[in-house]
A and B are shown apart, each in its own frame.
Chain A
Amino acid sequence: MRKSTLYMALCLFLGGAFLCSLVDANIREKTMIERLTSSILLTQELGLTDLALFTEARYTRHPSQADLHSAFQDHPMSFEHFPTGSFVQPPAHLVP
């Protein structure tokens, strides 16, 4: 068999798999959103504001509700020291 034919077959296979991944993402996104119904309802019912992803400090558990200077909560000029904090973006005006 010609090498170009083999390569085209590989490309067709990979291209097909690529399209399948897009279709799969679409289908799974819909079913996953259905699975999120209980989270959505609970958020609405309890008025939740944040994801329970980073629970080690109050300002990482509820970053959207944190004090404006919560990273320096312990005393003035103290550095933020919780590990999650290093991964939370500083306020927009501090980011160059």
Chain B
Amino acid sequence: MKQFWRTQRYLVDFTISSLQRRKGKNLSLLLVYTLIVFLLASVMLFCQSLKREAAVILANAPEIVVQRQVAGRHALIPGEYLQKVGRLRGVSQKRGRLWGYYYDPGVKANYTLMVPAEDVPNPGEVVIGAAFSRVRGVGVGYYFNLYSSANKLFSFKVAGILDTESELVSGDLMLMAESDFREFFTIPEGMYTDLVFNVTNPREVQNVAGKINERLPDTRPILREEILRTYDAIFNWRQGIVFVLLSGAILAFVLFAWDKASGLSGEEKREIGILKAVGWETGDILRMKFWEGILLSLTAFLFGYLFAYIHVFYSSAVLFSPVLKGWAILYPDFSPIPAVDGLQLATLFFFTVFPYTVATIIPIWQAAVTDPDTVIR
């Protein structure tokens, strides 16, 4: 065993010296290789982090949201529908929600106006999200005006600002009293935006949704599971789009690396011939080239991954966040949660380290089995 390791160390010594002889070429390869791993790992880590964050937060979304559909579009739902559904086994709570959108032409941004179920603000007062407060430039105690759809001016006093820590879900929120909401949007009493149902046993959610659909055929139940799947799909899709955009660069690198790894230069062939002439076995040459592949690809993988980790979790992914997070005038301020998926990491390792190492061995084997005299000439 000791002998084996000693041989391997000599091979590594020799390989590094051999790489140093073509310093410029190998360093540029290492740099480009590291950059490619960095780009791929950054996108992967950032998306994983956003997916994790969405999953943690939305795990507390209502189990079932029921929307009424009229001509295929979301319409207001009458409160009587709650009675129409009747008692359903497993449903712990059901209520109507009032929420809607308001486009503020002053700042060219959309707000989400909502009536909370608890801690409802007093009429004339509102509680706003931190991004809302930033964009509109209002703090606690300030007054601001909004025009309703009936062109009536409403003045609201800011009674509170929601915690900045919750900006990811509350950045554009404006919580208000039910009477204000109904007057502002001219929504008649007894009508709601949608209904929410909380189900105690998660295994009964599908059954409950089925029964709701049966009793209220003009509605569409949206399950929490679907909400979570939506976010998973959004970030997967975005990750895919960035990968497609990067594919040109990746293909260029693959060609470059393949050319470097598989096409032997005259100098390399001569080196192999000399090694064989001085008594190296074919196996030794293959091992030496294997080490060359490992040295380059492993170093590039580790450097690339570490730079990506620092980029995503210590600089909030400055390079990719505009594409991956999306954009908006009212944008929440948040930093991604570090979440590393072992399987994704292993996949990245396999697809970056393995192909290069294999690509270096095949042409070397062809050269190494040829007669040294022919190779040197």
The answer to whether B227 and A50 have CB atoms under 8 Å apart is yes
- Interchain CA distance A43-B231 in the complex, whole Å: 15
The answer to whether B166 and A84 have CB atoms under 8 Å apart is no
A residues within 8 Å of B by Cβ?
2-4, 7, 10-11, 14-15, 17-18, 21-22, 24-25, 28-29, 32-33, 35-58, 60-61, 63-65, 67-69, 83-84, 87-89
Q: Which residue of A lies closest to B228 (CB)?
A: A64
Could you say which residues of chain B place their CB within 8 Å of the CB of A52? 112, 129, 131, 167-173, 328, 330, 332
- Interchain CA distance A24-B337 in the complex, whole Å: 11
A51-B168 CB under 8 A given contacts A36-B56, A46-B117, A61-B112: yes
Q: What are the 10 closest A-B residue pairs judged by CB atoms, nearest first?
A: A89-B237, A25-B338, A14-B302, A4-B12, A64-B227, A32-B337, A55-B328, A39-B166, A3-B16, A52-B171
Give chain A nearest CB distance to B273 CB in angstroms. Answer: 23
Q: Would you call B33 an interface residue if the criterion is a C-beta within 8 Å of the partner chain's C-beta atoms?
A: no
- Interchain CA distance A3-B238 in the complex, whole Å: 43
We find that the number of chain B residues with CB closer than 8 angstroms to chain A is 83
Could you say which residues of chain B place their CB within 8 Å of the CB of A33? 56, 337
Give chain A nearest CB distance to B331 CB in angstroms. Answer: 8
The answer to whether B340 and A25 have CB atoms under 8 Å apart is yes
The answer to whether B302 and A29 have CB atoms under 8 Å apart is no
Could you say which residues of chain A place their CB within 8 Å of the CB of B59? 40
Q: Would you call B365 an interface residue if the criterion is a C-beta within 8 Å of the partner chain's C-beta atoms?
A: no
A40-B16 CB under 8 A given contacts A11-B298, A28-B337, A49-B65: no
- Interchain CA distance A38-B117 in the complex, whole Å: 17
The answer to whether B116 and A46 have CB atoms under 8 Å apart is yes
The answer to whether B227 and A22 have CB atoms under 8 Å apart is no
- Interchain CA distance A83-B231 in the complex, whole Å: 17
